Amino acid sequence: MKRAGSGSEEYENRIVRVVTIRKIPKTETPGIVIEESETGKELSLPLWAARELADAGLVKLVDEGLTVDEWTQIHFRERLNPTGPLAPLPEGFFQRAYTSLSSSAREAAKDPARREQLNRVLARYRDILESRVGKIIRLASAEASQPPKGLQPEEVQLYEDVQRTISGWRAEMRRVGEG
């Protein structure tokens, strides 16, 4: 079953903003038409198309993802209190993380010196992810009727899936010996 925010295809098709740095001729591909654009114009495009145009030197992405400072702050908050409440994440965190990590991976493929920086960011991302997964699972097993406020859409889906599984199992186990 396809989950909200669960795959790179969804993230690659997410609309991002770009600014043209050179004149762009009208471009047509299956499913998308980019009208001719003058230098300095802002456009909204799927991430995959924006990257193609950026690689061709025609645009610069405005929606770059997460900054190094944001990664550091989020990582610090999550690691500061690993068993405590969920710390708020910036809006669209997982989409922005995907943009950051996939862009960094593309850069590291071209420049091996960037591989070490990518590995540090990946380690932070994994720490954040594992911390949040543990907290979400604990919350989902608590029999609350609603997910806590402030979860990202991807986290709400995880919460609901885990809660449904645990609730079903719990109900089944409570019936043991009843009949």
**Residue with more model confidence, 141 or 85:** 141
Residue 21 shares a structural domain with residue 79: no
Ramachandran sector of residue 89 (left: φ over 0; alpha: ψ -120 to 50; beta: rest): beta
Q: Residue 6: its pLDDT value, please?
A: 53
Which residues does 79 contact at the CB level (< 8 Å), separation at least 6? 127, 131
pLDDT at 163: 94
Query: What pTM value is reported for the model?
Result: 0.80
Domains in the chain, number: 2
Q: What is the pLDDT of residues 55-79, one digit of tens each?
A: 899 999 887 789 889 999 999 998 8
The pLDDT > 90 percentage for the chain reads: 51
Coil vs helix vs strand at 13: coil
Residue 1 has pLDDT above 50, yes or no: no
* Termini Cα distance of the chain: 34
Query: Do 120 and 92 fall within a single domain?
Result: yes
Percentage above 70 pLDDT, the chain: 96
Q: Are residues 104 and 29 in the same domain?
A: no
Average pLDDT on 13-41 reads 90
Domain that holds residue 44: 8-61
Q: What is the mean pLDDT of the chain?
A: 88
Assigned domain for 99 exists: yes
Q: Are residues 57 and 73 in the same domain?
A: no
pLDDT in tens, 102-136: 888 988 998 988 999 899 999 999 999 999 999 99
Residue 179 pLDDT: 62
Supply the CATH number for residue 133's domain.
1.20.58.2050
In this structure, are 90 and 23 located in the same domain?
no
Q: Are residues 23 and 107 in the same domain?
A: no
- Asked if the structure places residue 2 within a domain, the reply is no
